Amino acid sequence: MKVRAGDRGMIPFAAVIVIMIGLAAFAPNVAPYTPDHQELAKRFLPPLTPGHSLGTDHLGRDILTRLVFGTRISLSVGTIAVLISVLIGTVLGVLSGYYGGMFDDIVNWFVNVQLAFPFILLAISVIAVLGPSLVNMIIVLAIGGWPAYVRVVRSKVFVLKEVEYVEAVKAIGAGDARIMLRHIFPNVAAPLIVLTSFEFAKMVIAEAALSFLGLGPGGLDYSSWGLMLAEGKNYLAVAWWVATIPGLAIMTAVLSINIVGDWLRDRLDPKLQT
């Protein structure tokens, strides 16, 4: 791909994502402390205190450390949840777009039921049933994510299956599976990549929202940005930074992913509206 003038603005945001991945990978080497290391005597130290550059929280834990470890939760939960929902959504979307009929009606019904059920309520009820844990959080997010892919993929396949070259390979005797895999799927890939980038941003927010509502696994060493925010909100009047800093981290991450997503869309699929 040729680099165009408009691309340069995207570079710092792509860099943010690369740095986040690096921090997540090397968190124990980069972070000055461990996420559960607490010193009650050093509670609520403000940012720029020597030894605690972003300050400490209500238990005297280092905020920078917890922030660095938080990238692990955000990225891993987001990535796995997105992969599961892409897989489910794409398979169902291709099949229901290609075969249509009854199968399509049923898939469509599931999509509509899912969309009519407010996501946060669904998430809370499922976690109330399964219990709070990282795996359950991923399951819930994947359940919330798949309908978006079905919708985009299905409508694209509807158009694609009528295209001449698909008719042509069919006439030579190619089977349905081969047509879907070799001839239809590659043409769905571009909108899929674009949608995935925006959905990934949503997953990062959703993970933080669930942790914020206390639906994550909890525990002293569980450092999710959403949980940090929830803990910090009780001390707004005494220590503004405890809640503000993790929120800033979430926003920076989501903003960067969205900007890279915008760039991808302009590059790959300008007609897609998001």
Cβ atoms < 10 Å from Cβ of 159: 10
In the bound state with other proteins, the residue whose beta carbon lies nearer, of 41 and 121, is 121
| 181 contacts: CB under 8 Å, gap ≥ 6 | none
What is the C-alpha separation between 268 and 190, in angstroms, rounded?
A: 6
Among 94, 107, 138, 229, binds other proteins (CB under 8 A): 229
Tokens representing 208 are 């933080």
Helices 240-268, 185-212: inter-axial angle, 10-degree rounding: 170
Task: For residue 146, state whether it binds other proteins (rule: CB under 8 A).
Answer: no
Which of these, 210, 211, 192, lies nearest to 200 by C-alpha position? 192
Which of these, 111, 103, 108, 98, lies nearest to 157 by C-alpha position? 98
What is the C-alpha separation between 102 and 97, in angstroms, rounded?
A: 11
Tell the smallest beta-carbon distance from residue 204 to other proteins (Å): 9
Task: For residue 236, state whether it binds other proteins (rule: CB under 8 A).
Answer: yes
Task: For residue 258, state whether it binds other proteins (rule: CB under 8 A).
Answer: yes
Task: For residue 259, state whether it binds other proteins (rule: CB under 8 A).
Answer: yes
Task: For residue 273, state whether it binds other proteins (rule: CB under 8 A).
Answer: yes
Tokens representing 153 are 């993929």
* Stretch of 27-35, 80-88, 92-100, 257-265 contacting other proteins, by CB under 8 A: 257-265
Which of these, 224, 245, 242, 226, lies nearest to 234 by C-alpha position? 242
In the bound state with other proteins, the residue whose beta carbon lies nearer, of 180 and 203, is 203
Question: By CB under 8 A, how many residues form the interface with other proteins?
Answer: 40
Among 15, 25, 128, 220, binds other proteins (CB under 8 A): 128
Q: Which residues are near other proteins by CB under 8 A? A: 109-110, 112-113, 116-118, 120-122, 124-126, 128-129, 201, 205, 208-209, 212-213, 226, 229-230, 232-233, 236-237, 240, 243-244, 247, 250-251, 254-255, 258-259, 262, 273
